[in-house]
Structure formats: structure tokens, C-alpha cells
Structure 1
């Protein structure tokens, strides 16, 4: 793997997260029904960020940054190729948890352990603040949910009301840090 530098993003770099190439073929998605995670066939050929997503989420990310959120980027030279974001504010129904708000790796850089490196670094820095764990509202794709469960996330029976209202089709997970020790 090429030399990759992990470092915190500056405020002026937050909008560069949309440079990450989101391309992905999806064949299966999870649904959470009656406390059971169920896999369903569903095909998507995602080429880019959904229309309007950068405009909708940039102010949210900037607000997160302004409230002390953790933004760690992975750089290949000057190119941002991956990023993880942890909101510093407590999650409403889970006040001892912080939301893992954003984790994306550019298409050509996937499968090289970069997401795991970013996740672990974010976890270590968040743990140092006395936080119990991550609350994750994950897109329902099999690959993404499997990644979070491999990191230690477990589906939540009672999702945070506010985050569920924003993303009812997501798979909501908790990763209690002490379970990983």
C-alpha cells in the first residue's frame, strides 16, 4: 500500500469529503425486523453521492466540526481518500455514546484495511474522553453493516428516536468499547 497519512482535518477541509469516490455495487441489504437482522437481495449501482447530499450534509458536518467533532482524514499525497467523523455531542437516548457520523473510503482504496485503521483511531481518541461507545446509523448495505459488526457493533432494539427519524431505513448499531477489551 502506498504511504497513507492519517491526520485531523482543518475546518476549511471539511467540504473536501465529497471528493471521496462513493462508487459501489450493492447486491444485498439488511432489514431489521422484530429484533432480527434479515438479508434481502437488492441491487444498486451507486456511481456518486446522491443528488443534493453534499448540499444537505455539508452544514451538518460543519456544525459537527464547530461543536468539537473529530474529523480524521486519510491522505495519499494531497488527495483525501477516506475520512471518519465522530460527533462530540452525546446521542439523545444514549448520552454515554457518540455518533460515528461518517466513514467513507474511496472506491479504489477499499479492501486495504483503511476503514479499520480510521475506525480504530477514532475509537481510541473517543475512548480517551471517557465515552462508552459509538452509536452508528449505518446504510443498510451488507458490506457496510458487516464491517461495523466486525468492528464490534451490535444492532439496537430501541434506536435513538431522533437519529431513527432521520434515517429509518438505516441499521442502527451500538459499539460498546468495553466489549472490545
Structure 2
């Protein structure tokens, strides 16, 4: 079975990695499928930073790169389906995201406990 990462990259998604030397310590994946009523949203499909490297601005820099890539593809918003942890939601909020009033039904059905946010680009 293909990983989400492989699927997205093979279908036009974009990925960025953060490294400490040759060690991957964080990554982000921008999905390829446009979402929203206006088809102007691209989803952050994956975002992860290794625990020992958190709270150092790495996740924020990955979000910046994903945002630039989304703008280049024509998106006006990032759609984020975040784990419901307070730290994850606070992180996305600190990057300019807000809870969306238009939840993507497909993503909600996959992860019904996630918090759905949107970030204007």
C-alpha cells in the first residue's frame, strides 16, 4: 500500500523536509487536491517535527514553505485538519490559522475528531 506521502507526491503534491545534518527532523506535505466551495484551498496533509526539535521555529518555517508552494499553485487558503491536541491547535493558530466554518466533509469523515482550520494566504 502506498503511503499518503508517496500518493501526494505522485499526484502533484509538494513536500519539504527539515534536517539537522543528514537527519530528517521535520517534514510537511501539501496535498494536490483543491478543496472548498471555490476550489481555492490546498490541504496540509502531513506536518511533523521530531519532539526534541519542537518549539524552535521549524514547524513555522515548514508552514511558510508550504504556504509559498500553495500560492504558486493558485490557492488562497491552506486547509488544516489537525489532531485535537491543544498544542497542535495552538501551533496552527500561532501561524495565522482559525477554525473554519466550512468543514470539508471528506476529511471530517476520515478524522472525525480533528479540529478543522483555515489559513488565508
Q: 1:90 to 1:130 in 2, by over 3 A?
A: same
C-alpha separation between the residues in 2 aligned to 1:93 and 1:166? Answer: 19
Aligned match of 1:60:
4
Aligned match of 1:101:
45
TM-aligned CA deviation for residue 81 of structure 1: 0.4
C-alpha separation between the residues in 1 aligned to 2:88 and 2:44? Answer: 13
* Equivalent of residue 108 in structure 2, options 151, 164, 172: 164
Greater Rg over alpha carbons, structure? 1
Q: 1:94 to 1:144 in 2, by over 3 A?
A: farther
Q: 1:130 to 1:169 in 2, by over 3 A?
A: same
Aligned match of 1:35:
none
C-alpha separation between the residues in 2 aligned to 1:108 and 1:120? Answer: 21
C-alpha separation between the residues in 1 aligned to 2:119 and 2:36? Answer: 16
TM-aligned CA deviation for residue 91 of structure 1: 2.0
Instruction: Report the TM-score when normalising by structure 2.
Output: 0.92
- Aligned residues between the structures: 121
Q: What are the superposed Cα offsets for residues 112-132 of structure 1, whole Å, 9 maximum, x if unpaired?
A: 110001111111121122211
* Equivalent of residue 19 in structure 2, options 52, 56, 75: 75
Aligned match of 1:123:
67
C-alpha separation between the residues in 2 aligned to 1:126 and 1:89? Answer: 11
Summarize the alignment of residues 1-181 of structure 1 with structure 2, pairs less than 5 Å apart. 59-91=3-35, 93=37, 95-177=39-121
Unaligned stretches of 5+ in structure 2? Answer: none
Aligned-residue Cα RMSD (Å) equals 1.5
Unaligned stretches of 5+ in structure 1? Answer: 1-54
Q: Is the 8 A contact 1:85 1:103 kept in 2?
A: yes
